[in-house]
Structure 1
Amino acid sequence: MVAHARTPSSSILLILALYFLQGMNLGITSSIPLFLIAHGATWKDRGTFNFAFYPFSLKLIWAPLIDALYVKRFGRRKSWLIPIQLSAAVILLFLSFYVESFIENLRTILLAVIFFAIVVLTATQDICVDGLAISLFTATNPQWTSTSQTVGQTMGRFMGSSFLLTFESANFTNRFIREPLSITPKESGLFSLQQFVRFAALAFLIVTTCLIFFFREKENLPIVDDEETESLSLTETYLSIFKLFKKKCIQQLTLVSLLAPMGIIAVNYMTPLALLNQGVPRENLALVNIPVTLVAIVAPLAIRHTESPLRWFAGSYIAYIITGIPIAAYVYYTPSMISTSYYYPILILLLACNEFCNALRFSAQIGFFAAISEPRIGGTYMTLLVTLHNAGFAIHSSIVLYIANWLPKNYDFVIATGACTIIGIIWLGFSFRTLKRLQEIPTHEWYLLPMQHSDDTVKSNEQGPSDHRASLMADE
């Protein structure tokens, strides 16, 4: 077996930092509904705000612009990353002065519009970072793209959600920080929401400054028949999307990405809100998420050298569904158990097991996407695949949340979880052979670029840099 070339630590740290910024933005966005619920928002309001996440499902529309239009002297990815991250910093800074007022007055639609703009920038940054990660990791270990994304985004989401919710809470800060240090209790937490949003703006400015002065991007193009290929024009890049959809393997993968979320939407989206509705304090929920997040960060490292990402996806998918069943039951009986000493330890255990399976599922699926993406159009190709993944979640989440609003209040989460579980098991039963078949397709058959070799599979790519993989990046 051919050994992997060593992946530079500096490349890993850079991608981790950029994905961390994404995660922090998404974490803040996902925390807003919890603040809204504290002020009386309904499931309908939550469904309305959920539209703020839709840009991640629409980013394919402008992804070819990122691949085709750039200043060569400045760098293909830096040409976009710099203005995008500076714009995000400006919007976050502006928002920090008004966000608390908007929440108190339940300005749900206005908040959805503002965060829609923030997520548009975050989604665009994601296109750039995906393309950059593919360029940096293709010749060494494509799975690092998925691992870096999962770890970086998870850490960022932790900062923007659990960390924010915990230390913004006056109850938590007074009880566990001020009281032990004999500090006078206050009506506010260690910091406010507006201060944290301001901190996020500062983080964007710092990372962007470092990106400007300390990172030099190299233009790497695929090599075919010992000749370097030309970059695609904007028109050619857009046409590449339609050409990809003509491939039967892409069509099958599209169905997998759009239909798979049906079985996991309820547990994935409704669990935190259901716990809040059952009386779990917001700050306690944030504390529970700390060990759960640590598990989610460690999980992707277990498959960073996997040889069969889609087999891991299938196994972790069914495990994620199964571990959601006891969570639904536990949430239902929360009011009668929440005052006991064993409630939170068991809740942490259940959520940690569930999140471990979810992190494996996500990392395996994104790792497969990275392994089959053609570096020449890496941003567009990866965006196409991830957009299909996000579209499935966005569509099904809105449907489930709106339906949940009409279910009996005491049973909404249990009914939704049960229905999704049955649908997910049925879907996986019908799709398992398709997943196995997609895993065995030679990697070059996923490319638009004509290749010389015909015996390379995704599996062989993950064992070591194969001949055609090694030829894709010039002087990496």
Structure 2
Amino acid sequence: MSSRRNKSKKPKQTRASEDQDMRKSSDESMAISSSLNTSIPRTPITSRTPVSSRMAMLEDGDEELELNLLGEEQQREARQGLGQEREAPVEKRPLSSKDKRAMVLLCVLYLIQGVPLGLALGSIPFLLKDNLSYSQLATFALSGYPYSLKLLWSPIVDSIFHPSIGRRKSWIIPMQLTVGTLMLYISLNVERLMDSPENHINELTFVFTSLVLISATQDIAVDGWALTLLSQENLSYASTCQTIGLNTGYFASFTVFLAFNSAEFAQKWGVPQLNLSAYLRFWSVVCYLVTFWLLFFKKEDKEPTTEADLSIKGVYKTIWSICKLKHVQSLIIVHIFAKLGFAANEAATSLKMVEKGFKREDLALAVLIDFPFQIFGGYLAASWSRGDRPLRPWIWAFWPRLGFGMMATLIVYYFPKPPISSGFFAFLIVHTVISSFSSTVQFVGISAFHTRISDPLIGGTYMTLLNTFTNLGGTWPKYFILKGVDAFSVATCKVTEAGTEVAVKASECVSEHGQALCREIGGTCVTETDGYYIVSTACFVFGIVFLVAYVIPTARKLQELPSLAWRVKLA
């Protein structure tokens, strides 16, 4: 009897010890591969699938991680082991004073990014349009590309830093100093560059490309800092800070500057006219002051140490490992093509409205009225994006955004001859507010999703990887759309000589510069076919088809994945 008891007890002890060893090894592997903060409680995997197999699935990015493809029992087990943070609803606690201070700091840092972006992507093209064709504006539009390609050097930002200054401050401080210096340089040379931009288009493109490049580098560091500045339960507010800061800086450089730069606006409202040189000098001083405060008065908390390889080579390997995940590849495809449906509206509609006679200061006023609604929309979108379905508001906002994009094309087509009535102007304001609200919901929603799935250990790189493809999806079509407007346009400059009408074909006749050249030879510019409508319609049709066929089903699958499915094991 005793021998049987011993034999019967021995296997139980062995199984118990094996279970204990398995839990121990599970905790150790999770501590390395998940890269979560140590303060976040972890629950050991208890499902029947061995831990090693599940971790291998995470590392290889197997499609079987998409929970909707699993059985009901397997879904329950996967959520218990890998995604418990999704089972329990996110507890909405009031913001702590530390989080509030962190949000103010993030808003200021994102504001400094938004100023040069508003110049390069907003006001400068409007100031140049009087002298440049759409094809030349397409060349200047290349200055926005660095903001969409920052992934290429983000590993350097994540890997190289001075410990005594701080991992993020080591880059934010010199980048902001460089931004301030570049704006000071442009302010001293603005008359030479802007008086005859057709002769300095390459220099203008180079200078503003450099400005956007430095701002993009600062953005990498700020995105990474946001993941550690805010507490875990309030990470979704990082996208709110980004929305408030970027939009404030962007609209200050776009709408506010365009309004105060207009002589008619200044005379009408009795305010001094603001020139580009003074505006740039002001923001140069702001950059210097904020950088000085960061250097001497803001201390950066040290991030938890890890055995992972955070060298430049190691981070590039990590990026490649992330990109090999099947669900990351699906997300990249969504980002690259999702914005094509309303790309023509964002690239050319405002320029077309100005061409039709809409005053720049009126356009600036319309967007300025829209600004507080965007801030409020960013706050609402952040609240909607918390919980188990962060991409739901992002998906819903596609429909009004596409619809208002097509409506904008019709507005351009039926645009009345100036002066426009107050009723039509009010209609334009309502259209702008609702359209931009849907854009804000999408921006905040997808940013909150990125924040949720990013690994804090390589936060700057991971966020930059995801944001790169988001930004690239809105940037890469712009060059081709502006080129397409000229390419598909058919314009004729009609000149009357000795009572005979002579038609001179001029593709540039669709721009104010081309019309001015036509007037110099005593002709009248007549546009027979405007390529804007062809390009806009093609984008809209593609946007509807791609949304229904790919974006919606893919997004629903992606948001079902647990957070750990987006992690890779760091070497």
State the TM-score bracket (shorter-chain normalisation): 0.7 to 0.9
* 1:144-168, Cα deviation, whole Å (9 max, x unpaired): 1111111110011111111111111
Select the residue among 249, 261, 281 that pairs with 2:327. 249
Please give the residue correspondences for 1:171-210 in structure 2 after superposition, counting only pairs within 5 Å: 171-177=264-270, 189-210=272-293
Partner residue, 2:220:
127
Cα offset, 1:11, TM superposition:
0.2
Per the alignment, in what secondary structure is the counterpart of residue 363 of structure 2? Answer: helix
Partner residue, 2:233:
140
CA RMSD, 1 decimal: 1.7
| Separation (CA, whole Å) in 2 of partners of 1:337 and 1:260 | 35
Cα offset, 1:333, TM superposition:
1.8
Partner residue, 1:413:
532
Select the residue among 369, 378, 382 that pairs with 2:459. 378
| Matching residue's letter, 1:444 | L
Cα offset, 1:61, TM superposition:
1.3
| Separation (CA, whole Å) in 2 of partners of 1:53 and 1:208 | 24
Partner residue, 2:477:
396
TM-score (norm: length of structure 1):
0.88
* 1:415-439, Cα deviation, whole Å (9 max, x unpaired): 3222211110100111211110001
| Separation (CA, whole Å) in 1 of partners of 2:319 and 2:146 | 18
Aligned residues: 434
| Separation (CA, whole Å) in 2 of partners of 1:97 and 1:142 | 41
Cα offset, 1:230, TM superposition:
4.8
Please give the residue correspondences for 1:71-110 in structure 2 after superposition, counting only pairs within 5 Å: 71-106=162-197, 107-110=200-203
| Separation (CA, whole Å) in 1 of partners of 2:422 and 2:476 | 39
| Contact in 1 for aligned 2:91/2:233 (Cα 8 Å) | no
| Cα 1:48/1:199, change in 2 over 3 Å | same
| Contact in 2 for aligned 1:67/1:377 (Cα 8 Å) | yes
Partner residue, 1:159:
252
Question: Which has the higher Rg, Structure 1 or Structure 2?
Answer: 2
Cα offset, 1:231, TM superposition:
6.2
| Contact in 1 for aligned 2:336/2:469 (Cα 8 Å) | yes
| Matching residue's letter, 1:220 | E
Select the residue among 503, 527, 544 that pairs with 1:425. 544
| Separation (CA, whole Å) in 2 of partners of 1:374 and 1:304 | 20
Partner residue, 1:454:
none
Cα offset, 1:449, TM superposition:
4.2
| Separation (CA, whole Å) in 1 of partners of 2:557 and 2:262 | 50
| Cα 1:138/1:416, change in 2 over 3 Å | farther
Partner residue, 1:23:
114
Partner residue, 1:276:
354
Identity %: 31
| Cα 1:379/1:292, change in 2 over 3 Å | same
* 1:321-352, Cα deviation, whole Å (9 max, x unpaired): 01122221112222336432312101111111
TM-score (norm: length of structure 2):
0.74
Between 20-29 and 130-139, the greater mean CA deviation after superposition: 130-139
Cα offset, 1:176, TM superposition:
1.4
| Matching residue's letter, 2:257 | L
Higher relative contact order (CA 8 A, sep 6+): 1
Cα offset, 1:103, TM superposition:
1.5
Partner residue, 1:212:
295
| Contact in 1 for aligned 2:240/2:379 (Cα 8 Å) | yes
Cα offset, 1:220, TM superposition:
2.1
Per the alignment, in what secondary structure is the counterpart of residue 126 of structure 1? Answer: helix
| Separation (CA, whole Å) in 1 of partners of 2:261 and 2:139 | 25
Please give the residue correspondences for 1:47-58 in structure 2 after superposition, counting only pairs within 5 Å: 47-58=138-149
| Contact in 2 for aligned 1:82/1:208 (Cα 8 Å) | yes
* 1:14-72, Cα deviation, whole Å (9 max, x unpaired): 0000000111111111211111013x211011100011011112211110111111111
Cα offset, 1:362, TM superposition:
1.2
| Matching residue's letter, 2:293 | C
Is the aligned partner of 1:118 residue 2:211? Answer: yes
Cα offset, 1:295, TM superposition:
1.9
| Matching residue's letter, 2:460 | G
Cα offset, 1:125, TM superposition:
0.4
Between 426-435 and 329-338, the greater mean CA deviation after superposition: 329-338
Cα offset, 1:257, TM superposition:
0.7
Partner residue, 1:3:
91
* 1:80-117, Cα deviation, whole Å (9 max, x unpaired): 11111111111111110112321221122110000010
| Separation (CA, whole Å) in 1 of partners of 2:407 and 2:332 | 31
Is the aligned partner of 1:32 residue 2:161? Answer: no
Partner residue, 2:84:
none
| Contact in 2 for aligned 1:25/1:119 (Cα 8 Å) | yes
| Matching residue's letter, 2:564 | H
| Contact in 1 for aligned 2:90/2:233 (Cα 8 Å) | no
- The runs of 5 or more residues in structure 2 that have no matched partner are 1-88, 490-509, 511-526
Is the aligned partner of 1:321 residue 2:402? Answer: yes
* 1:244-265, Cα deviation, whole Å (9 max, x unpaired): 0111111111101111121110
Cα offset, 1:229, TM superposition:
4.8
| Separation (CA, whole Å) in 1 of partners of 2:304 and 2:340 | 38
